Amino acid sequence: MNKAIIINETNREVNEAAWVELSDKFIKIIGEGNFNSWIKPLKFSSYSSAILNLKSPTRFIRDWVNSNYSEIIRNIFRDSFGNVAAINIVVDSQIAIAPASTDSQSSNQDVINFKPSAGNRDFSEIESILDPRFKFENFVVGNSNSFAYAAAKSVAESNEVIAGSNPLFIYGGVGLGKTHLMHAIAWKVKEQNPDRKILYLSAEKFMYKFIKSLQDKNIVSFKEYFRSVDVLLIDDIQFICGKNSTQEEFFHTFNALIENGKQLVLSADRSPSDMGEMEERIKSRLGWGLVADINSTSFELRLGILETKVKSFNLNVPKDVLEFLAENITSNIRELEGALNKIVAQSRLLREEISLDYAKRILKDLLKANQKNITIDQIKKLVSEQCAVKLGDINSPKRTQNIARARQLAMYFAKKYTNKSLPEIGKNFGGKDHTTVLHAVRKIEELKDTIPEIRENLEVITRLLEK
């Protein structure tokens, strides 16, 4: 533990004990579950010149804290000790991870620590920490991920390798649940058969271990180590692309495991055939087993995930806020969860009730980042295709119902996705008045809740626009 004693402006000693004293304040604001998962594992390291240095047991926790809790840490810390200009969290795998509070399992079950054989000390630091929230029970299934979910579950539940399922290759965009499924597999395998040796690691870590073993002239142990596991899970293998010697080693490990009837689970942000610089023979080998993709989410799935989360943490968030989030943060579930956390945490901090207006205010910046550079012409084209009306009709003065609706939809999207003012949008639709645009936006907003067809059109077009 850190022995340094630092006196700050308030002349209070800031040390590990002082940091721990803040626990109650954190719990009050973010709740005990979040506290135990994210803040408790952090250790105080030092505080000087307004820089707060902390340690985290894993990269995962560090990243999560950086993106979700830095503001709260800053505020709470400032109230007791002084200003924080920056929070710097370094990963230190030596520090212990706190037990997950709500889990009935004991703390050391959170860590799958696969000890290498004796005399193989160089690898003793390889251990993998699984996120206790990433289990099958917490994974919400929808059309976009049901296949990957079923594939992952069947691999996890079988004590032997199922023919045709090795390797299991899960791919999909950022934040859509790949890591969640990988951890879920590891949890499940462990639960069913604690004797099976499981190793979960990122491709980056695999590379790092490999390069280090080359430097240390220890490649034999490296090979033995990886080849002695029963289930090897490597996350984000796109990072292995283009690194020739690592690729080669990966390929040998891969073959050795599969030949020996060991299960391999891989994830990537793209399909095997899209693995750019990877060698052809490796690419084709990746696709030999079961390939399962996770597609972009639907509104229902996003809402389902938010609702599950709200329920499990016993939060009080009105439905219209959840719908607003599910509608606007569409590209990535991690961001969706981050947004929810942000709203909840800030409302506790500022003691303000969560309402739709409140949520909109807080998320303004986030939403901006979610909106791409979309032009009115793109919008018109998509709308005309989706609503099956001629592109020319959208600009025309025609008032047939389906044309008028399509026009209103296009105006609604123009307002939502571009920075154009109402009069500018009007001008872009064959010289309509700004009140016509305003009316269109309001109309669509009203109808999307009552007419399923409009809601569906809205969703499809949103998805296409955000692609």
Point out which residues bind Mg ion (CB under 5 A).
178-179
Nearer to ligand ADP, 149 or 210 (CB): 149
Nearest-angstrom CA–CA distance, 458 and 461: 5
Buried b (16+ CB within 10 A) or exposed e, 27-40: bebbbebbbbbbbb
* Member of 14, 65, 176, 394 binding ligand ADP (CB under 6 A): 176
Does residue 190 bind ligand ADP (CB under 6 A)?
no
DSSP letter assigned to residue 274? G
Nearer to Mg ion, 179 or 341 (CB): 179
Does residue 175 bind ligand ADP (CB under 6 A)?
yes
Nearer to Mg ion, 333 or 437 (CB): 333
Nearer to Mg ion, 187 or 225 (CB): 187
**Sign, Cα dihedral of 430, 436, 439, 441:** positive
# chain residues binding ligand ADP, by CB under 6 A: 17
Nearest to 201 by CA among 226, 220, 222, 176: 226
* Member of 55, 180, 405, 415 binding ligand ADP (CB under 6 A): 180
Q: How far is the CB of 148 from ligand ADP (least distance, A)?
A: 9
| Site mask for ligand ADP (CB under 6 A), range 153-172, x = bound | -------------------x
Q: How far is the CB of 189 from ligand ADP (least distance, A)?
A: 17
Helix axes 356-370, 319-328, angle to 10 degrees: 10
Q: How far is the CB of 225 from ligand ADP (least distance, A)?
A: 25
Nearer to ligand ADP, 236 or 249 (CB): 236
Question: Cα dist. 68→39, 204, 242, 327 in Å?
Answer: 11, 24, 33, 21
Does residue 90 bind ligand ADP (CB under 6 A)?
no
Nearest to 92 by CA among 119, 64, 61: 61
All residues at 6 or more sequence positions from 221 whose CB lies less than 8 Å from its CB, including other chains: 116, 120, 122, 123, 213
Nearest to 72 by CA among 35, 98, 47: 35
55 binds, among Mg ion, ligand ADP, none (CB under 5 to 8 A by kind): none
* Member of 140, 155, 189, 465 binding ligand ADP (CB under 6 A): 140
Nearer to Mg ion, 155 or 411 (CB): 155
Q: How many CA atoms lie within 13 A of 10 on its CB side?
A: 13
Nearest-angstrom CA–CA distance, 32 and 162: 41
Q: How far is the CB of 204 from ligand ADP (least distance, A)?
A: 13
Q: How far is the CB of 184 from Mg ion (least distance, A)?
A: 12
Does residue 334 bind ligand ADP (CB under 6 A)?
yes
Q: How far is the CB of 198 from ligand ADP (least distance, A)?
A: 17
229 binds, among Mg ion, ligand ADP, none (CB under 5 to 8 A by kind): none
* Member of 61, 161, 305, 403 binding ligand ADP (CB under 6 A): 305
* Member of 43, 55, 178, 188 binding ligand ADP (CB under 6 A): 178
Does residue 418 bind ligand ADP (CB under 6 A)?
no
Buried b (16+ CB within 10 A) or exposed e, 390-400: eeebbbeeeee
Q: Largest Cα–Cα distance in the chain?
A: 82
Nearest-angstrom CA–CA distance, 214 and 223: 11
Does residue 177 bind ligand ADP (CB under 6 A)?
yes
Nearer to ligand ADP, 246 or 331 (CB): 331
DSSP letter assigned to residue 374? -
Q: How far is the CB of 332 from ligand ADP (least distance, A)?
A: 7
17 binds, among Mg ion, ligand ADP, none (CB under 5 to 8 A by kind): none
Nearer to ligand ADP, 134 or 417 (CB): 134
Nearer to ligand ADP, 138 or 396 (CB): 138
Question: Cα dist. 151→71, 166, 212, 250, 363 in Å?
Answer: 39, 11, 34, 23, 35
Alpha helices in 44-129 (DSSP H): 59-68, 70-80
Retrieve residue 45's tokens.
């390291």
Nearer to ligand ADP, 230 or 235 (CB): 235
Nearest-angstrom CA–CA distance, 446 and 437: 14
Give me the residues that bind ligand ADP (CB under 6 A), please: 134, 138-140, 145, 172, 174-180, 305, 333-334, 337
